[in-house]
A and B are shown apart, each in its own frame.
Chain A
């Protein structure tokens, strides 16, 4: 169950990363299709990361001589991570839901005062969440896996951002020339 919740959070993170890196890079007015494509890219990226993480997890478990104890240790680390990731996810999703209120002032305020800062602290949340999870784990395998997954999570936004930046550069070069 814990792994499944982490997986869902990873997909949500990918979706939001995809949206975030695409913002400000398309100037048409009706952008629904553009954002859906961007979010899909994010979800696919998160899915790839989740798959790689799962493969790594299985490999570590298979190669470990103390499989049962490692399983308990990994489960406990993942549970601790949720103590950081779930409140963060609730804050982000809560602010997105607030934007359903049809008030331009409330919508602007959630954007400027909440979603902006929450976006900014995402890498920090990732580091704090994973560190808190693996801090008191007993096995080096758990710590190594945690750090591996952290590097993938941090790399996701970077990779999506590079992808979106390259696409934008190509589009602008088509408009203006090199």
Chain B
């Protein structure tokens, strides 16, 4: 296996910016610590990308890292745009919302975009969907203050009706009725994946929709080609390909969800293109409260064929 395709290693952006999970204070990052991690995996591509990052007395330069993060996330947004990700999310989310409404729930629904980055999905929804009419509040949450600041700036520039918060999406203060994420869930491995899913077990939560790369034999090659053509920064190219390599298989996600949050019926949505065996680039770990199971097929309509076994 190529060192750069080793799924056991973290992505560069996982390491070059660190926050205290309790205080949300940004922590200094020693460049040599990051280099040591990738040296351990023999990943020369990552070593070159990290070595090029500016530092002061061994600590990564925060401003330089912020500049890289923003340009990387702007590029990542382009991928989401090319995949029509906003349309895809709304196509499922609206049916989940309709399912919840059909059970008689009339209050505002709080949709949390977990690990929202610069908030593309959240802002797309706010820009294209009459959220007030649907009785939905969309909130983008992330631990990264730079990205939340940028998301807030972008939303304000377009007068979008959405909110961005730096913090823990599963805390009592911020908890949501529906959780969604994009390209986040593969960052959680092993027990931390189950722990992440376990945190969805909150009194108000009806459903979750976690979009991520769908692994396949060809996915790393396709991802490499796509990122090589589309991304401009070395870190974006590296992490983009590694994300596809690290993406969880459907059964890993479903098994983790079913064991971590048994009160939700979980399954995979949108794995194949129409009724063909061709896989979609993204698939969705989908979970709903069991009392919603009777109504859900009615609201999904013909989209029901996209839903795998839900239990």
Q: 8 Å CB contacts to A: which residues of B223-280?
A: 225-226, 229-232, 273-274, 280
Q: Pick from A2-10, A89-97, A102-110, A145-153 the stretch touching chain B.
A: A102-110
Contact A29-B280, Cβ < 8 Å, known A24-B74, A172-B67, A178-B63: no
Interface string of A77-119 (1 = CB under 8 A from B): 0000000000000000000000000001101100110001101
Is B219 among interface residues, defined by CB-CB distance under 8 A?
Answer: no
Q: 8 Å CB contacts to A: which residues of B121-151?
A: 123-124, 127-128, 146, 150
Number of interface residues of B (CB under 8 A): 40
Is A68 among interface residues, defined by CB-CB distance under 8 A?
Answer: no
Q: Pick from B79-87, B106-114, B170-178 the stretch touching chain A.
A: B79-87
Q: Which A residues touch B73, using CB under 8 A?
A: 27
Kindly identify which residue among B77, B230, B274, B281 contacts A116, using a CB–CB cutoff of 8 Å: B230
CA distance A29 to B230 in the complex (A): 19
A92 CB to closest chain B CB, in angstroms?
Answer: 14
Is A28 among interface residues, defined by CB-CB distance under 8 A?
Answer: yes
B22 CB to closest chain A CB, in angstroms?
Answer: 25
Is B88 among interface residues, defined by CB-CB distance under 8 A?
Answer: yes
Q: Are B226 and A30 in contact (CB under 8 A)?
A: no
Is A71 among interface residues, defined by CB-CB distance under 8 A?
Answer: no
Is A173 among interface residues, defined by CB-CB distance under 8 A?
Answer: yes
Q: How large is the interface on A (under 10, 10 to 19, 20 to 34, 35 or more residues)?
A: 20 to 34
Q: Are B229 and A173 in contact (CB under 8 A)?
A: no
Q: Are B229 and A168 in contact (CB under 8 A)?
A: no
CA distance A30 to B91 in the complex (A): 20
Is B193 among interface residues, defined by CB-CB distance under 8 A?
Answer: no
CA distance A107 to B84 in the complex (A): 8
Q: Which B residues touch A165, using CB under 8 A?
A: 232
Contact A24-B66, Cβ < 8 Å, known A30-B127, A104-B88, A108-B82: no
Q: Are B150 and A175 in contact (CB under 8 A)?
A: yes
CA distance A103 to B145 in the complex (A): 36
A124 CB to closest chain B CB, in angstroms?
Answer: 13
CA distance A172 to B230 in the complex (A): 19
Q: Are B82 and A176 in contact (CB under 8 A)?
A: no
Q: 8 Å CB contacts to B: which residues of A108-134?
A: 108, 111-112, 116-117, 119-120
Is A48 among interface residues, defined by CB-CB distance under 8 A?
Answer: no
A115 CB to closest chain B CB, in angstroms?
Answer: 9
Q: Are A27 and B118 in contact (CB under 8 A)?
A: yes
Q: Which A residues touch B74, using CB under 8 A?
A: 24-27, 168
Q: Are A29 and B160 in contact (CB under 8 A)?
A: yes
Is B78 among interface residues, defined by CB-CB distance under 8 A?
Answer: yes
Q: A27-B154, A173-B67, A175-B153 are in contact. List 10 more A-B contacts (CB 8 A).
A: A24-B78, A27-B77, A28-B158, A29-B124, A29-B154, A104-B84, A107-B84, A116-B225, A116-B230, A178-B63
User: Mind listing 27 A-B residue pairs with CB under 8 Å?
Assistant: A23-B230, A24-B77, A24-B78, A25-B74, A26-B74, A27-B73, A27-B154, A28-B154, A28-B157, A28-B158, A29-B120, A29-B158, A104-B83, A105-B273, A105-B280, A108-B281, A111-B82, A112-B226, A116-B225, A116-B226, A117-B229, A168-B74, A175-B150, A175-B153, A176-B70, A176-B146, A177-B63
Give 7 closest A-B pairs by Cβ, nearest first: A24-B78, A104-B84, A24-B75, A29-B127, A111-B82, A176-B66, A27-B74
